[in-house]
Structures are given as structure tokens and as C-alpha cells.
Amino acid sequence: MTSRFAAADALRAALLSSAALAGLFSTAAFAQTVETLPGISVFASPDDGALLSGSLLSGDGLGEAGLAARRVSTADTAALLRGLAGVSLNGNGGVSSLPALNGLGADRVNVLVDGAPIAPACPNQMNPALSAISPMRVSKVEVLAGITPVSAGGDSLSGTISVESAPPVFAAPGEAVHTEGKLSAFYRSNGRSVTGAAEASVANDGFSLGYSGSWSRAENYKAGNGRTVRSTLYDVQDNAVTVGARRDGHKVTLQGGIQTMPYQGFPTQRMDLTDNRSAFLNGRYEGIFDWGTLDARANWRRTRHTMNFLEDKGGTAGGGMPMDTLTTDAGYSVKATLPLSDRDTLRVGTEFRHTGLDDWWDPVAGSMMMSPLTYWNVKDGTRNRVGSFAEWEANWSPAWTTLLGLRNDVVWMDTGAVQPYSWQNATGMGMMAMANPDAADARAFNARGHARTDVNVDVTALVRYTPSDTSAIEAGYARKTRSPNLYERYAWGTGGMSSSMNGWFGDANGYVGNLDLKPEVAHTVSTTLSLYDATRKAWEVKLTPYYTYVQDFIDVERIGTLGNGFVKLRFANHDAILVGANLSAAARVYEDEEIGAFRLSGVAGWVHGRNLDIGDALYHMMPLNALLTLEHRRGGWSSAVEVQATARKERVEEARNEPKTPGYALVTLRTGYEWGDIRIDAGIENLFDQHYLQPLGGVDYADYRAGGSRGTVGALPGAGRSFIAGMTVKF
């Protein structure tokens, strides 16, 4: 690990590391950190000259250097992506943020963890894909927003986020047995958050065995005004074992792990996570043949999820409201890369994805509303998908490259008959009787057929022109399609309580599914202009404007109110547009042997979304925002000052009563020193203890409830000042 910093070209290493930190030149940083079989990874190094998906000009990502500095500040894997071009984070629990790309988040992003999607096993998406891997196990992050190659995946609208755990370590030539290990401990003062982690590997040149484990917990954090923000605590433990074998250009990796999450508070949700256990098995084969390369993966995961109320929401006195979910994900993907000629490369692949979902709410003894039966929100739900693609890349000349891809995904879903807490049309007796719309809803739902099949077609066409050694331009069109998830189609209860248990939008509104939903289809045109100096070391500017028209965008329609500003919504198809731009820039501002190198970098994003049928704004559109970083690096010592500025959020979706939020600016300081086998980090986040409201944070439901559920709910405050310290020792 340390050799990276002791490399002969120390300057280059320093620049690459700091660039990864700023999220620039990121694909180049991968070349250093990721073990790649040539052309085999979807996200291979751009240095081989091929226009692979990872080398898209609009792409962004993080290698080991960037990750090392970020892991200390968060236990939320999605938060590692903060500051990458096109990324915004929709607030959720402390380790379960939902990333969005170019304004479209949650299921609309194809999130792959070690090549596999992970379906959320919860009607509130408390356990999204990135929460299934701890930041300590992530060794590479790649973000492709907007125009993405069909080989990167389907069943999504806005792009792909791919995180990979560390590949197995093997002994170097001449080394009989290789052993290595790492211990880390991090502390963040706000919320007294701690992370402890351990890694160990033993290997020869053909076999490898590795273990990685971590544990993170936090109490509720405090906002800048000193108030404790309720339901922001969490506890998560993550363990994985990796076995690798390789011989003569063939490599097999097997990985298995168990994650337990005893609790995680959700400030914006009516419920909290009170237990979440998942177990997974992944297998991967990578091979080099005369005809090309093959990458095959298989995955299996089972997640058992339980919700109820933590102390902040009143605890489980009287039984609370138990809710349970059991999900199984299983699938495989096979990808082949065939270099047909010096000019042409063909990539073909196929994948199968299965999700099985049960979502039930046990009766609560003595409760009028929640007894005597088990409420089945989704029973025997299944969602299957077969995807296949062909992608042709042609390097016509050193200046011109084209990429053309066609993809088909067939999605078929079904679910069984459901059951309300009670089949009576009213619960209770006499004066206490309350209407129970769920009984009629369940009868109506069960009377209809639930099987749905969607045949989806995706297309990507991209051209890159590199007129000189100081500029490149990429332009393209993508048609991308996403089928509804199981809840969007099958959540059926229109009752106040039943509907308000569904929804992953952080607004505490009630959501009802729609059996008649069609898949949403996004047509995106985008271009990326990149300018840089001839050495690609002194400066770079990159601008990516985009325009997306979404046919049958899955938005909502109001079907009632829940009182105090909360509303009942049904998923509905509408047409929508999104317009936006991502800008990133970096420059070396000063450098000498004595003082080291100073580098200034910035990332800015803007997006505007509109429902064309209603004229309303789209939900969770991040206002204009920018991150400016001044970094200093000298040998193994690196430090940074960051300013994160966000404009006022004025345009909000009326249908959901989305809150407006004022603008704010946050300053972060951090420094890290790496010498030999030891790395030490320290920092201060939100230096001036600024009080601010998160534009995409959702509503502060936990505080509203604690205050007696009176008045209207406000936006969720962000975290106040936090002192950060971390230490990592390698051996």
C-alpha cells in the first residue's frame, strides 16, 4: 500500500490521489488501484485506449486514495459519493442514504454491489443496496450518470453506481506466502459515532483467503443550533470472507458475508429499523481466452427486516406496530468482450435477476385497528428480469470513437392474495367504530390479476471526438427504461395508517400502489466537453449538460389527506422533463519541493425537473450546489479545506407538500498523514457549527411526533460541528 506514495513518480501519485479525492481524473486513479485483467472489467482502465464504460468523459469515481480520506468521516457508503459529478443524496437513515444521479434517485439508479443489484427489503427502503456494504469493504466506486453504456445495466433511468469490494490478494512472484492485515478505528464527535474495522489476508500465488469485518454505531446527532435530531442513531456490523483462486489467466472469487443491524433510526419515517439481518454469497469467474475475455458472476442474498418504534418514537409499549419483511435476491450475469479487430470491440452479455418479497404486519393484541389478523402488504411477491445486450465500440481513428448498444430487459412480476388486519368494513363498536377501507381495498385487489410483464428496450449511441491533446468532446443519446418496483405496483391499502407505512421519500406521506402502472422510459441527450493541459496534470475543466424527457414517469396523484399537511398519494404515470448540468474543474495552483503541491478543485451541479402533465416540480430536485476544495499534499501528508455551498430550495413538489429550505454553506477541514504502515486522519466537519436544513433530507417527522404531532412538520436539520479522528495500521 505504501509503495503508492513512495513511487518514483511521486508527483503523479500525489496528483492522482488528490484528484480522486476531488473526484476528478478518477478513471486514471483506478488504473493504479484496481487489479484489472485487460478489458475484463466493465469499468476498465481508460489507458488501454478503449472507450469502455468506465472511461466515459462524464464518468466519475473513487479509488483507494480518495476512499481512505472519506471512510473516516462516514459509516454511510452512499455518503462516500458526496461531491462526485451528478450525485446527490436523498436523506434516509444514518447509514441508508439513497443516492440520486442527475436528479433521479432510489430505484431509478442501477446500484450494483460487486456486480449485483440488491432490491430494498422494506416498504421505506431502509436497507438500500449501498447499505449492504460497509465503507470499510468498498475498494472502488464508479459513477456513470446520464448516458450510460447498455453493458453497465438496465432497468434504471439515470445511470449506474457500481461499488466493488477489494479483490482477493495474491502473493507476488517469488513470494511463497503473503500475509497482510489492517486495523482501523474512527471517531466522530457529533453523535459519538465510532467505527472499528479489521482486515486480514493470507495467500500464495494461486490461492487467497481474506476476512473483512467492521462495526459502526452512533447516537443521535446534534444540529448546528444544539438540538438533538431524533431517530438518527444506528448500529451496524458487517463481516465478509473472500476466497480467491487463479491460474493461467483464469480467476475465481467466492465471497460470503453476514450483516446485522440491531437498530437504525429514521427521522423522516413513521417507523424505525429494529432489526435487519442479511446473508449473501457471491461467485465470480474471470477468464482470458484467445477470442477475448469472459466475466461471469452469480449472487444470492437473503434479508430479514423488522420495523417498529425506537425510543424516540415512543418505543414498543403495547406492542408498537411490528412490521416484517423477508426478501431473497438471486441472479447471475455473464459478459464477454471480443476484440474483433484493431478497430472494433464487441461486448455481449446476459443477466437474470430474481427478487422474492414477503411483507407482513403481525396483529397487535388489544389493538382495535391492528387486529385480529396479520396484515399482508405484499404476499409472495416476485419480480424477475432477464436482460441481454450487445455493444459495439469502434475506434475509427485516434480522434474518433463510437459506442453503439442495444439492450432488452423482460421484467415479469406477480404477487399473491393479500389480507387486511380485519375483514370487517369497520373496526370497533358503537361510538368507537372507525371505517376500515383496507377491507374493501383488499377485496378489490384480490379480485384482479396481479401478473405483469414488461418488455423494455434500451439504446445507447455515443460518439467521442478528441481533436487535440488538450480537449475531448462526447455526445450521445440514451433510451433507458425502468419497470415499477413491487411496492409501486402492489401496495394496496388506502387506509390512513396502511398507506402511510409505504413510501421511501422521507415525507411521511401515505403511498398507494397502482396495478396499472407502465414502465417509465427516459430519453436523454447529453454532451460532455472536457478541456485540459497537454500533460493532464496541471488543469482540467469538464462540463456535462443534459436533457431528459421521461415518458410515463412514475410520479404521484393525491387521493386524500392524512391531516396536518400530510397527504395520501397514489403512484401514477406522467410525462416529465429534467434539464441540468454538472461542472467540474481542477487546477494545480502551486508546487515546489519544499512546500509541496496545492490544488484547487470544484464540482457544481444544477437540475430542474417538471411534471409536464400537472406543471408541478419533480420531487427532491437538488438546488444549485457546489463543492470547492483546496488541497495540499506533501509526501504522505495531505490536507484540505472544503466549502460546500447550496442555494435556497424554492421549487418544490406541491403534490407532496415538499418543504422549502434556505441556502447554506459549510466548511470542512481535514488532514491525513500516512507514513510506513500507519495512517492518521483528523478533521472538523461543519467548522462553524452552521444550522441548516437539508434540501433532500426529507421532513423531521421524529421531532414532530415527539412534539405531540401538532402543527406542520419541518425539513430535517443537518448535522452540526463534528470533530473527526481516525487511525489505520497495516501489517
Give residue number: closest CB to Cu ion.
122
- Select from 62, 686, 144, 148 the least CA-distant residue to 407: 148
| Rounded least distance, CB 271 to Cu ion, Å | 6
34/122 with CB nearer Cu ion: 122
Cis amide linkage into residue 372, ω under 30° from 0: yes
Task: Round to whole Å and give the CA distance between 504 and 122.
Answer: 9
Nearby residues of 449 by Cβ (< 8 Å), 6 or more positions away: none
307/628 with CB nearer Cu ion: 307
Our finding on whether 306 is near Cu ion (CB under 5 A) is no
Please give the residues from 49 up to 68 whose contact with Cu ion meets the rule CB under 5 A: none
For the chain, count helices (H), then strands (E).
7, 32
Contact segment (CB under 5 A) with Cu ion among 120-128, 503-511, 559-567, 720-728 equals 120-128
The grid cell for 585 is: 474543474
Contact segment (CB under 5 A) with Cu ion among 49-57, 115-123, 499-507, 619-627 equals 115-123
| Rounded least distance, CB 489 to Cu ion, Å | 19
265/659 with CB nearer Cu ion: 265
Nearby residues of 639 by Cβ (< 8 Å), 6 or more positions away: 631, 632, 633, 669, 670, 671, 672
222/383 with CB nearer Cu ion: 383
| Rounded least distance, CB 192 to Cu ion, Å | 25
306/544 with CB nearer Cu ion: 306
52/122 with CB nearer Cu ion: 122
Distance from chain centroid for Cα 257: 20
The single residue among 22, 307, 521, 607 that binds Cu ion, judged by CB under 5 A, is 307
Distance from chain centroid for Cα 132: 10
Please give the residues from 593 up to 632 whose contact with Cu ion meets the rule CB under 5 A: none
122/163 with CB nearer Cu ion: 122
Which residue type, as a one-letter code, is found at position 60?
D
DSSP code per residue over 590-654: EEETTTEEEEEEEEEEEEEEEETTT-PBPTTPPPSEEEEEEEEEETTEEEEEEEEEE--B----G
121/161 with CB nearer Cu ion: 121
Number of residues that bind Cu ion (CB under 5 A): 4
Contact segment (CB under 5 A) with Cu ion among 122-130, 218-226, 367-375, 671-679 equals 122-130
Contact segment (CB under 5 A) with Cu ion among 186-194, 244-252, 299-307, 415-423 equals 299-307
264/694 with CB nearer Cu ion: 264
Contact segment (CB under 5 A) with Cu ion among 90-98, 114-122, 411-419, 423-431 equals 114-122
| Rounded least distance, CB 125 to Cu ion, Å | 8
Contact segment (CB under 5 A) with Cu ion among 174-182, 300-308, 549-557, 673-681 equals 300-308
DSSP code per residue over 552-602: EEEEEEEEEEEETTEEEEEEEEEEEEEEEEEEEEEEEEEEETTTEEEEEEE
| Rounded least distance, CB 109 to Cu ion, Å | 19
| Rounded least distance, CB 121 to Cu ion, Å | 8
140-156 core/surface letters (b: 16 or more CB in 10 A; e: else): bbbbbbbbbbbbbbbbb
- Select from 489, 404, 488, 503 the least CA-distant residue to 450: 489
199/324 with CB nearer Cu ion: 324
| Rounded least distance, CB 310 to Cu ion, Å | 12
Instruction: Count how many residues are written for the chain.
Output: 731
Contact segment (CB under 5 A) with Cu ion among 110-118, 301-309, 507-515, 676-684 equals 301-309
86/265 with CB nearer Cu ion: 265
Contact segment (CB under 5 A) with Cu ion among 123-131, 177-185, 355-363, 609-617 equals 123-131
Our finding on whether 126 is near Cu ion (CB under 5 A) is yes
Task: Round to whole Å and give the CA distance between 700 and 717.
Answer: 8
322-357 core/surface letters (b: 16 or more CB in 10 A; e: else): bbbbebbbbbbbbbbbebeeeeebbbbbebebbbbb
Contact segment (CB under 5 A) with Cu ion among 15-23, 285-293, 302-310, 704-712 equals 302-310
Cβ–Cβ contacts within 10 Å for residue 203, how many?
A: 22
122/693 with CB nearer Cu ion: 122
| Rounded least distance, CB 378 to Cu ion, Å | 13
| Rounded least distance, CB 193 to Cu ion, Å | 21
Our finding on whether 122 is near Cu ion (CB under 5 A) is yes
Block residue for cell numbers 439492450:
407
The grid cell for 443 is: 377485496
- Judged by DSSP in three states, 222 sits in strand
490/553 with CB nearer Cu ion: 490
Task: Round to whole Å and give the CA distance between 712 and 338.
Answer: 59
127/242 with CB nearer Cu ion: 127
Contact segment (CB under 5 A) with Cu ion among 52-60, 125-133, 594-602, 711-719 equals 125-133
Contact 127, 273 (CB under 8 A): yes
79/126 with CB nearer Cu ion: 126
Residues 74-113: x/- map of binding to Cu ion (CB under 5 A)?
----------------------------------------
Task: Round to whole Å and give the CA distance between 99 and 91.
Answer: 9
DSSP code per residue over 271-298: SEEEEEEEEEEEEEEEEE-SS-EEEEEE
| Rounded least distance, CB 375 to Cu ion, Å | 15
| Rounded least distance, CB 455 to Cu ion, Å | 32
Contact 409, 387 (CB under 8 A): yes
| Rounded least distance, CB 124 to Cu ion, Å | 5
| Rounded least distance, CB 122 to Cu ion, Å | 3
Nearby residues of 539 by Cβ (< 8 Å), 6 or more positions away: 532, 533, 585, 586, 587, 588
The residues of the shown chain that bind Cu ion, judged by CB under 5 A, are 122, 124, 126, 307
